[in-house]
Amino acid sequence: MFRILLVEDNLSYRESLRDIMDGGKFSGVIVEEAGDAKGAMEKVDSFCPDLIFMDIGLPDGSGLELTNRIKIKCPPVCVAILTSLDGPEYHEAAVRYGANHFLTKGNATREEIQNLVKSSLSEQ
């Protein structure tokens, strides 16, 4: 089974992401969710995701710092930053903190997100 974790504090956006994952496009995929950094770390510990979609702005911490903590703990996990913050400084910070991909919420299409999942699945 391929495990995806959605770390997003906006419930509506998280549900949209889940809808993209659950649309029948992917077999053998389990999707879990977390709305904050604490919940995300608990899911990482119990769920061991293969792919994480990570928002930068979480109510109890920075998604970038959380990405760094996760990558130290589980180096093989693929982290895709998915945020509304689109300045070059955020792209650079994402790389510094260990993110594998950077997508902007306003620009990332359904197909782009699905292609990222497909490519991650094929690397398994």
> How far apart, in Å, are the Cα atoms of 101 and each of 27, 38, 48, 49, 63?
23, 22, 19, 16, 13
pLDDT tens digits for 24-72?
678 889 999 999 999 999 999 999 999 999 999 999 999 999 999 999 9
pLDDT tens digits for 68-98?
999 999 999 999 999 999 899 999 999 999 9
Asked if residues 3 and 53 have their Cβ atoms less than 8 Å apart, the reply is no
Structural domains of the chain, ranges and CATH numbers in brackets: 2-118 (3.40.50.2300)
